Amino acid sequence: MVGLNMSPINRHARQIEAVVLSNKRVGQYHQIMISVHDLAQHARPGNFVAIAVGGDSSALILRRAFAISRVSHRADYGGTMELIVAPHGAGSRWLCSQMDGASLDVVVPLGTAFGIPTTPVRALLIGGGYGSAPLFGLAEVLKGRGCRVDMILGASTSGKIYAPQEGKRSVTSLNIYTEDGSAGATGKVTDPLREMIADGSVDVIYSCGPMGMLAAISKIAVEANVVHQCAVEESMACGIGVCMTCIIPMRTDSGEVGMMRSCIEGPVMDGEKVQWNLVGKPHA
């Protein structure tokens, strides 16, 4: 069994005013860099940030949660944080419209991070669409621990793949799958998974992306008795465990099914414990 160190939840989280340092369009997404000062040293792969969106006069009352892609330290700005945002809803479109120098009301870092192996292992990272963004920061941490890091990215079409050039240097191998064959191999990210596990190339799987993809990966991982940590995609209205809108059905240690909060017990969860057949369904 792979040993993983898990970190305490929200112990270092603070509400701050973060300045937008840059906002660049990267394909269908926006790469947004913000200044978070000393909080960058407490952010871990898998954590997220909750941002107040819409401005002071907006009807968008609730914060929006965004996965942290990576953090770094710059001599001119101090701690910085990178977000990869798809301008789909009103909140994310507002965020993508913010210019350099704009001030954001953020709470960071939040949530449960990915567990990092205590010894070098063969790690497989699987990302779907822009959900792959946090995996590149995770890859850097794993490589620093002496792990072999392979990555599989997938999407319905090439335009939805997020694979930064600098990120490719963080992995041992990178393979891309698109359902329409417009980039990489034609198919889904799960297509090579059973063979890779059978070859002994995988000790632990980390995944981030659509819930359907996470469920399919988890099924294969459970069958092969491979550890699978997944960052679930659920709407987090408050981000701090109060509103209960982001609950996920999970098997507890006693064998019963309990409703866990994605923003507190997650977003990184044990894929084997998530009750994927009950996700999105009413639960008594």
Residue 47: which of 170, 231, 204, 217 has the closest Cα?
231
Q: Is the same domain home to 140 and 254?
A: yes
Q: Is the same domain home to 59 and 147?
A: no
Q: Which of 110, 136, 168 is the last residue of a domain?
A: 110
Q: Which of 49, 81, 110 is the last residue of a domain?
A: 110
Please report whether residue 33 resides in a domain.
yes
Q: Is the same domain home to 93 and 129?
A: no
CA 92 → CA 34, 85, 173, distances in Å? 15, 7, 31
Q: Is the same domain home to 205 and 253?
A: yes
Phi and psi at 6, nearest 5°, equal -105, 145
Q: Is the same domain home to 100 and 230?
A: no
pLDDT confidence of residue 284? 53
Q: Which range marks the domain in which residue 35 is found?
A: 9-110
Model's pTM, two decimal places?
0.91
Indicate if the pLDDT at residue 255 is higher than 70: yes
pLDDT confidence of residue 281? 75
Please report whether residue 3 resides in a domain.
no
Range of lowest pLDDT (68-72, 75-79, 90-94, 210-214): 75-79
Q: Is the same domain home to 130 and 271?
A: yes
What is the CA angle 26-208-41, rounded to 5?
75
Q: Is the same domain home to 90 and 135?
A: no
Residue 276: which of 232, 207, 233, 215 has the closest Cα?
215
| CATH number of the domain residue 217 falls in | 3.40.50.80
Q: Is the same domain home to 23 and 54?
A: yes
Q: Is the same domain home to 83 and 128?
A: no
**Scanning the structure block, which residue is given the tokens 């699978």?**
228
| 131 band by pLDDT with thresholds 50, 70 and 90 | confident
Residue 18: which of 43, 33, 32, 35 has the closest Cα?
35
Please report whether residue 284 resides in a domain.
no
| 283 band by pLDDT with thresholds 50, 70 and 90 | low
Q: Is the same domain home to 167 and 235?
A: yes
pLDDT, tens only, 178-204: 999 999 999 999 999 999 999 999 999
Q: Is the dihedral of CA 31, 106, 70, 246 positive or negative?
A: negative
pLDDT confidence of residue 2? 54
Please report whether residue 83 resides in a domain.
yes
**Other C-beta atoms lying within 10 Å of the C-beta of residue 181:** 12
Please report whether residue 1 resides in a domain.
no
Buried b (16+ CB within 10 A) or exposed e, 117-138: beeebbbbbbbbbbbbbbbbbb
Q: Which of 110, 135, 166 is the last residue of a domain?
A: 110
Count of domains for the chain: 2
Q: Is the same domain home to 122 and 102?
A: no
pLDDT, tens only, 10-45: 888 999 999 999 999 988 899 999 999 999 999 999
Residue 161: which of 196, 193, 133, 124 has the closest Cα?
133
Q: Is the same domain home to 129 and 57?
A: no
Please report whether residue 2 resides in a domain.
no
Please report whether residue 4 resides in a domain.
no
pLDDT confidence of residue 74? 74
| CATH number of the domain residue 18 falls in | 2.40.30.10
**What is d(CA 167, CA 182) in angstroms, rounded to the nearest whole number?**
21
Comparison of pLDDT for 149 and 26, the residue scoring more = 149
